[in-house]
Amino acid sequence: MLIEQALRFKPEAVVIANEQHYARLKEALAGQPIKVYAGSDAINQIVTADPIDIVLASMVGFAGLCPTIEAIKAGKVIALANKETMVVAGELITSLALQYKTPILPVDSEHSAIFQCLSGESMNPVEKILLTASGGPFRILGKDQLKTVTKAQALKHPNWDMGAKITIDSASMMNKGFEVIEAKWLFGVPYSKIQVVVHPQSVIHSMVQFADGAVKAQLGAPDMRLPIQYAFSYPRRLEAGFPRVDFTELGTLTFEEPDTDRFRNLALAYEALERGGNMPCILNAANEVCVAAFLHDEIGFLQMSDVIADTMARIPFRKVSSLEDYIETDAESRRVAASLINPRKNN
């Protein structure tokens, strides 16, 4: 797909993180006026290039942290789709953004919705942020049923078409837990003012409740092209042929309380946010290891939460202040989580 996109759009440069695929990429683009690079160092360098004015940070997981930091230091506008960057190092990222006067524009549909609801409301106190969640493919399944769900079932999201990792996170509601942490840093509100509401229709992308009780909501079809375009064109809105909501055919919009007993990951995310320090970084690393194991049939759906909780319990709490601290915590957490998964393969 990267090769196809490069041949179609003829960018000045293409960088692939996985160096093992560099030769194939280089050969496929031979004869094209395109520079080809590979590796994490190349990614960190390309985001600082002078012609670039905005960086869409959408790499999955912890891998997106360092390139985003380099782009911030280079003064690039950040269109943030990589929520793990804020989960792992929200305090560091927000501090650097202030230091380098770099705007961070949210691209996640929920955070884009909150951003839009807050437009023009800078003088008005926020009483509550309401993050909507679809509930994923297992919203109505009981805990006993969740014990035996497969990756094929988990990858069938009812509303959104996403990559494998984020789709599994959505099924386990870890994705929503990450979004709670991200919202805290993006919008400067305490976790106690962030409420998750299950909204199966995925039409209301999120809401903001103000001090007078008024609630603003952003609605739209479940299509990621809209928040991506809005981040690129902000503060303007460009004409687009994206799907529209037909309110005459929409029917009923419903809302539910999330079940943190069946979907324990959401509770673990709130716990990590409340404890602070290295806990969100541990949460993210353990989750990445667990999702990879689940996708390789090495661990059950509910066991992912057990491993994440055990990892958070085994690694001591400590404050983090530098990128090196986060890198060390991430590596340690991955080792612990992997060691907890291995014995489970035979169970």
Query: For the ranges 37-51, 161-175, 205-219, which has the lowest average pLDDT?
Result: 161-175
Q: For the domain with range 276-339, which CATH number is right: 2.60.120.10, 3.10.180.10, 1.10.1740.10, 1.10.10.10?
A: 1.10.1740.10
The helix (run of H) or strand (run of E) holding residue 309 is helix 303-314
Question: Which whole number is the average pLDDT over 82-109?
Answer: 94
Question: Which whole number is the average pLDDT over 125-153?
Answer: 93
Answer left, alpha or beta for residue 319, where phi above 0 means left and psi between -120 and 50 means alpha. Answer: beta
Question: Which whole number is the average pLDDT over 68-77?
Answer: 97
Domains of the chain, residue spans: 112-264, 276-339
Q: Structure pTM? A: 0.91
- Mean per-residue pLDDT of the chain: 93
347: helix, coil or strand? coil
> What was the pLDDT predicted at 337?
97
CA distances from 141 to 172, 239, 240 (A): 12, 40, 38
Distance in angstroms (rounded) separating the CA atoms of residues 232 and 220 = 18
Residues 6+ apart with CB under 8 A from 176: 131, 133, 170, 196, 258, 266, 269
Question: Which whole number is the average pLDDT over 94-112?
Answer: 96
pLDDT digits (tens, 9 = 90+) for 254-281: 999 999 999 999 999 999 999 999 999 9
Distance in angstroms (rounded) separating the CA atoms of residues 158 and 230 = 24
Answer left, alpha or beta for residue 181, where phi above 0 means left and psi between -120 and 50 means alpha. Answer: alpha
Could you say which DSSP state residue 210 is in? Answer: E
> What was the pLDDT predicted at 160?
63
